[in-house]
Amino acid sequence: MITRRWFTAGLAAAVFAPGTALAQTKKKSFQLDPKFQPQSVPYKTDLTAGSVVVDPKNKFLYLIESSSTARRYGIGVGRAGLEWSGEAIVGRKATWPRWIPTKDMIKREPAKYEKYAVGVDGGPTNPLGARALYLYRNGRDTYYRIHGTIQPWTIGTAVSNGCIRMTNNHVIELYERVGVGATVVVL
Give 58's Cβ-side CA count (13 Å radius): 12
Domain ranges of the chain: 34-186
Q: What is the pLDDT of residue 6?
A: 35
CB atoms near residue 50 (< 10 Å): 15
Q: Which of 163, 164, 182, 186 is catalytic?
A: 163
Convert the pLDDT of each residue in 151-171 to its tens digit.
999 999 998 888 999 999 999
Instruction: Assess whether 170 carries a catalytic annotation.
Output: no
Q: pTM of the prediction?
A: 0.82
Instruction: Assess whether 163 carries a catalytic annotation.
Output: yes
Nearest alpha-carbon partner for 99 in 116, 82, 78: 116
For 88, phi then psi, to 5°, come to -145, 180
Please state which CATH number belongs to domain 34-186. 2.40.440.10
Convert the pLDDT of each residue in 1-17 to its tens digit.
333 333 333 343 333 33
Convert the pLDDT of each residue in 43-97 to its tens digit.
999 999 999 999 999 999 999 999 999 999 999 998 766 778 899 999 999 999 9
Q: Which of 59, 145, 147, 170 is catalytic?
A: 147
